A and B are shown apart, each in its own frame.
Chain A
Amino acid sequence: MATRKKSLLKVIILGDSSVGKTSLMNQYVNKRFSNQYKATIGADFCTKEVVVDDRVVTMQIWDTAGQERFQSLGVAFYRGADCCVLVYDVTAPNSFKNLDSWRDEFLIQASPRDPEHFPFVVLGNKVDLDNRQVSTRRAQQWCQSKNDIPYYETSAKEGINVEMAFQTIAKNALQQEAEAEIYNEFPDQIRLNSDRNNRPGNADNCQC
Chain B
Amino acid sequence: MWIEPKELLLLLPGLWTGEMFSKYFVLQKRRGHGESGGFGSMLVGTFDSVMSTKPAPYRILHQTPSSEISYEIAIATTQDEIVKDWEWLQVNLFNVLNEMESEEEVTNFTLCKIKSLFAQNNQDDPGESADFKVKTSTFKSIFKMPEEERLVNTYAATYVKNKIPRKGHLYISLNHICFHSYMLGQEIKRIIRFAELEDISRHGNIIYIKTTNNMQYNFTLIFDASEAHSLIEQLNKMAIQQLIQNPESPVVDHDTSRLTRLGAANTKNSKKPVLLRDLTARQKSEEFRVYFRLPQSEIIDGKIKANIYTPYSKRFNSGHILLSPNFLCFRSDVKDLVSVVIPMKTIKSVEKKDDGQQRYDNQIVIITSENVPFVFAQIIDREVLISKITDLLSRIHIPVSRERAKYDISWSKQTALMNTFKTNFSAEMQKKQEEKLARWDSHFRDFGRGIGMFRTTDVINLIVEGIPDKLRQEIWLIFSGAIHDKEMNPGLYEDLVEKAACIKDCFAHDEIDRDLPRSLPEHPAFQSPDGIAALRRVLQAYALRNPQVGYCQAMNIVTSVFLLFCDEENAFWMLASLCENLLPDYYKDKVVGAQIDQGVLNELVETHLSDLHEHLDQLGVIKMISISWFLTIFMSVISYESSLHILDCFFYEGAKIIFMIALQVIEWNRDKLRRCQDDGEAMLVLQKFLEGIHNPDYQVPPSTDKRKTERTQTQTVQTLIHEAYTKFGEELTQQRIEELRNKHRRLTMRQFDIDNEKTIVKAFVDNPYFERDELHMLLTIIREEKMALKSVQQQQKTHANMSEAPSFPQSPARAAPGDSSGARHEAYCVNYEVFHTLFNELTPWRKCTTVDIGEKLFRLTDKKSTGVLDFGQIIHALGLVCSSKYTEKLKLMFILHLPPLLSKSEVERARRPRPRNKDDAEEAIEAEDFFDDDPSESIEALPSPSDHNFDADDYALVSATQHMYNLAGISGHTFRDPLRTPNLSLNSNASSLPAQPTRASTFYVDLPSDLAAGGASHGTTNTRADAGLDEDRDIGLSQQGRHESIDTFSDISDLGAAKLTPPQPTAAEQLMLNVETISNFSQISDLVATTRMERADSNNTDTRSLGSLGYLLDQPDDSSSNRRLLPHMRKENFQLLWRSIIEILGCVQDEEMRRAYENMIEMGNSNIRKEPSVESFTQLNLGGSGDEQPDRNGNPTTSAAEPTSTTRLFIALEEELRQAALLSGSESISSGKPTPPSSSNASSDSYGWNISISQFIATVLSVPTIVKGFITRTNILEQIELLQKKRRKCLSTNY
Interface string of B576-593 (1 = CB under 8 A from A): 000000000000111100
CA distance A138 to B969 in the complex (A): 65
Tell me which residues from 265 to 311 in chain B have a Cβ below 8 Å from any Cβ of chain A: none
CA distance A175 to B591 in the complex (A): 36
Closest beta carbon of chain A to B307's beta carbon, Å: 47
Is A161 interfacial (CB-CB < 8 Å)? no
With contacts A45-B683, A193-B213, A207-B977 taken as known, whether A111 is within 8 angstroms of B762 at the C-beta atoms is yes
| Cβ contact within 8 Å between B511 and A17 | yes
Q: Which residues on the B side are within 8 Å of A192 (C-beta)?
A: 214, 754, 757, 776, 780
| Cβ contact within 8 Å between B636 and A38 | yes
Tell me which residues from 801 to 829 in chain B have a Cβ below 8 Å from any Cβ of chain A: 817-821
Q: Which residues on the B side are within 8 Å of A72 (C-beta)?
A: 590-591, 595, 752, 755
Q: Which of A34, A38, A79 makes the CB contact (< 8 A) with B520?
A: A38
With contacts A104-B991, A108-B763 taken as known, whether A39 is within 8 angstroms of B515 at the C-beta atoms is yes
Q: Which of A34, A66, A69 makes the CB contact (< 8 A) with B552?
A: A69
Closest beta carbon of chain B to A142's beta carbon, Å: 14
Q: Which of B213, B553, B683 makes the CB contact (< 8 A) with A67?
A: B553
| Cβ contact within 8 Å between B557 and A41 | yes
| Cβ contact within 8 Å between A71 and B1268 | no
Count residues on chain A whose CB falls below 8 Å from chain B CBs: 53
Q: Which residues on the B side are within 8 Å of A42 (C-beta)?
A: 624-628, 631
Is A4 interfacial (CB-CB < 8 Å)? yes
With contacts A38-B519, A196-B1277, A208-B974 taken as known, whether A68 is within 8 angstroms of B818 at the C-beta atoms is yes
Closest beta carbon of chain A to B641's beta carbon, Å: 15
Closest beta carbon of chain B to A3's beta carbon, Å: 7
| Cβ contact within 8 Å between A206 and B1271 | yes
Is B772 interfacial (CB-CB < 8 Å)? yes
| Cβ contact within 8 Å between B620 and A199 | no
| Cβ contact within 8 Å between B687 and A208 | no
Is B1273 interfacial (CB-CB < 8 Å)? yes
Tell me which residues from 87 to 126 in chain A have a Cβ below 8 Å from any Cβ of chain B: 98, 101, 104-105, 108-109, 111
Is A202 interfacial (CB-CB < 8 Å)? yes
| Cβ contact within 8 Å between A70 and B591 | yes
Tell me which residues from 740 to 783 in chain B have a Cβ below 8 Å from any Cβ of chain A: 752, 754-755, 757-759, 761-763, 771-773, 776-777, 780
Q: Which residues on the A side are within 8 Å of B752 (C-beta)?
A: 72
Looking across the interface, which residue of chain B has its beta carbon closest to that of A75?
B755
Q: Which of A76, A109, A190 makes the CB contact (< 8 A) with B772?
A: A190
Tell me which residues from 514 to 564 in chain B have a Cβ below 8 Å from any Cβ of chain A: 514-515, 517-522, 552-554, 556-557
Q: Which residues on the A side are within 8 Å of B626 (C-beta)?
A: 42
Q: Which residues on the A side are within 8 Å of B684 (C-beta)?
A: 45, 47
Looking across the interface, which residue of chain A has its beta carbon closest to that of B554?
A41
With contacts A70-B591, A101-B819 taken as known, whether A199 is within 8 angstroms of B773 at the C-beta atoms is yes
Q: Which of B213, B517, B771, B772 makes the CB contact (< 8 A) with A35?
A: B517
Interface string of A162-185 (1 = CB under 8 A from B): 000000000000000000000000
With contacts A18-B514, A65-B553, A193-B213 taken as known, whether A202 is within 8 angstroms of B773 at the C-beta atoms is no
With contacts A36-B521, A41-B554, A69-B589 taken as known, whether A202 is within 8 angstroms of B1275 at the C-beta atoms is yes
| Cβ contact within 8 Å between A193 and B214 | yes
Is B456 interfacial (CB-CB < 8 Å)? no
Q: Which residues on the B side are within 8 Å of A66 (C-beta)?
A: 553
Is A60 interfacial (CB-CB < 8 Å)? yes
Q: Which residues on the A side are within 8 Å of B589 (C-beta)?
A: 69
Looking across the interface, which residue of chain A has its beta carbon closest to that of B754?
A192
CA distance A206 to B591 in the complex (A): 49
Is B148 interfacial (CB-CB < 8 Å)? no
Closest beta carbon of chain A to B961's beta carbon, Å: 18
CA distance A154 to B677 in the complex (A): 33
Interface string of B1250-1291 (1 = CB under 8 A from A): 000000000000000000100111010100000000000000
| Cβ contact within 8 Å between B521 and A105 | no
Q: Which of B556, B706, B759, B772 makes the CB contact (< 8 A) with A39?
A: B556
Q: Which of B624, B678, B755 makes the CB contact (< 8 A) with A77?
A: B624
| Cβ contact within 8 Å between B553 and A41 | yes
| Cβ contact within 8 Å between A39 and B557 | yes
| Cβ contact within 8 Å between B624 and A206 | no
Tell me which residues from 1 to 51 in chain A have a Cβ below 8 Å from any Cβ of chain B: 1, 3-4, 8, 10, 17-18, 34-43, 45, 47
Interface string of B500-524 (1 = CB under 8 A from A): 0000000000010011011111100
Is B1115 interfacial (CB-CB < 8 Å)? no
Q: Which of A10, A34, A104 makes the CB contact (< 8 A) with B680?
A: A10
Tell me which residues from 932 to 955 in chain B have a Cβ below 8 Å from any Cβ of chain A: none
Chain B CB count within 10 A is highest, among A37, A41, A192, for A41
Is A204 interfacial (CB-CB < 8 Å)? yes
| Cβ contact within 8 Å between A41 and B521 | no
Is A131 interfacial (CB-CB < 8 Å)? no
Q: Which of B517, B818, B1272 makes the CB contact (< 8 A) with A206?
A: B1272
| Cβ contact within 8 Å between A108 and B762 | yes
Is B884 interfacial (CB-CB < 8 Å)? yes
CA distance A39 to B818 in the complex (A): 18
Is B623 interfacial (CB-CB < 8 Å)? yes
Is A73 interfacial (CB-CB < 8 Å)? yes
Looking across the interface, which residue of chain B has its beta carbon closest to that of A62?
B680
| Cβ contact within 8 Å between A206 and B680 | no
Q: Which residues on the B side are within 8 Å of A73 (C-beta)?
A: 590-591, 595, 623, 627
| Cβ contact within 8 Å between B631 and A41 | yes
Closest beta carbon of chain A to B104's beta carbon, Å: 68
Tell me which residues from 850 to 867 in chain B have a Cβ below 8 Å from any Cβ of chain A: none
Is B632 interfacial (CB-CB < 8 Å)? yes
Looking across the interface, which residue of chain A has its beta carbon closest to that of B761?
A190
| Cβ contact within 8 Å between A43 and B1268 | no
Q: Which residues on the B side are within 8 Å of A4 (C-beta)?
A: 677-678
| Cβ contact within 8 Å between B1273 and A205 | yes
CA distance A78 to B390 in the complex (A): 61
Closest beta carbon of chain B to A23's beta carbon, Å: 11
| Cβ contact within 8 Å between A45 and B687 | yes
Q: Which residues on the B side are within 8 Å of A36 (C-beta)?
A: 521-522
Q: Which residues on the A side are within 8 Å of B773 (C-beta)?
A: 196, 199
Looking across the interface, which residue of chain B has its beta carbon closest to that of A189?
B758
With contacts A75-B755, A104-B991, A208-B1268 taken as known, whether A38 is within 8 angstroms of B518 at the C-beta atoms is yes
CA distance A47 to B511 in the complex (A): 29
Q: Which of A1, A38, A68, A207 makes the CB contact (< 8 A) with B1271?
A: A207
Looking across the interface, which residue of chain B has its beta carbon closest to that of A41?
B628
| Cβ contact within 8 Å between B820 and A68 | yes
| Cβ contact within 8 Å between B620 and A202 | no
With contacts A38-B636, A104-B991 taken as known, whether A18 is within 8 angstroms of B678 at the C-beta atoms is no
Chain B interface residues toward A at CB < 8 A:
213-214, 511, 514-515, 517-522, 552-554, 556-557, 588-591, 595, 620, 623-628, 631-632, 636, 677-678, 680, 683-684, 687, 706, 752, 754-755, 757-759, 761-763, 771-773, 776-777, 780, 817-821, 884, 974, 977, 991, 1268, 1271-1273, 1275, 1277
What are 24 A-B interface contacts by the 8 Å CB criterion? A3-B677, A4-B677, A18-B514, A18-B518, A37-B518, A38-B636, A41-B553, A41-B557, A41-B627, A41-B628, A41-B632, A43-B624, A45-B684, A47-B684, A69-B588, A76-B620, A104-B991, A190-B758, A190-B761, A192-B214, A196-B773, A199-B1277, A202-B1273, A206-B1272
Top 4 closest A-B pairs, CB basis? A42-B627, A36-B521, A41-B628, A18-B514
Q: A73-B623, A192-B754 are in contact. List 7 more A-B contacts (CB 8 A).
A: A8-B678, A17-B511, A40-B553, A70-B553, A72-B591, A206-B1268, A208-B974
Chain A interface residues toward B at CB < 8 A:
1, 3-4, 8, 10, 17-18, 34-43, 45, 47, 60, 62, 65-73, 75-77, 79, 98, 101, 104-105, 108-109, 111, 188, 190, 192-193, 196, 199, 202, 204-208
